[in-house]
Amino acid sequence: MPDPQRQRSPTDESLDDDDGDLTDMLGELRVLLPTAQLLSAFLIAVPFAPGFRNIVQAEKNVFLATFLLSVAALVLFTAPAVQHRLMRPLRQRANFKARASRQMLVGAAFLAIALVLATQFVLSEVLGHMVGNVAAAAIGALIGAMWLLVPLTWNRRQAA
């Protein structure tokens, strides 16, 4: 029988799945939230730049999609904090954590797409569409590798 008083070591993965401790989730949000905030703030300022009216409609559509995805990511990253406050006292921490984790993953997906589109939007305007498209593809591949492939590879190695 496990000892409930046992000190948890930083490498103990067995207690990390659905234990209801929200500390790790808070730390993850502290990493993701500033990215969404900074991107959203940048995008809010873009339409007020003098040259924005001169960009082609296709780039305005890319801007619109980038802006909406960025703001949606911001909403999804802040939702767990607001929900946690409104649901106090929190009775089912593990269930809340699972739902908030899904919201964070959807927010991360929106943020990833927004980062790729922002790369395309900015570099297309500055260096041309070919450079913008290649750079966006490279950023998409980097995000896919670091956010998806590394964790999947790690999990496979741990399971073996």
Residue for token digits 């899904």? 102
pLDDT in tens, 147-158: 888 888 888 888
Q: What is d(CA 22, CA 10) in angstroms, rounded to the nearest whole number? A: 15
Question: Domain boundaries in the chain?
Answer: 23-159
Per-residue pLDDT band at 94 (split at 50, 70, 90): confident
pLDDT in tens, 4-62: 444 544 444 444 455 667 778 778 888 888 889 999 999 999 999 998 899 899 999 99
Per-residue pLDDT band at 71 (split at 50, 70, 90): very high
Residue for token digits 């993953």? 105
Q: Are 147 and 138 in contact (CB under 8 A)?
A: no
Q: Give the torsion through C-alpha atoms of 88, 90, 91, 93, to 10 deg.
A: 170
What's the token pair of residue 113? 């797409």
Q: What is d(CA 134, CA 53) in angstroms, rounded to the nearest whole number? A: 25
Q: What is d(CA 30, CA 51) in angstroms, rounded to the nearest whole number? A: 34
Q: Are 21 and 8 in contact (CB under 8 A)?
A: no
What is the predicted pLDDT for the residue at 15? 46
Could you tell me the pTM of the whole model? Answer: 0.78
Alpha helices (H) in 9-92, listed in sequence order: 23-45, 57-86
Burial class (CB in 10 A: 0-12, 13-18, 19+), 55: middle
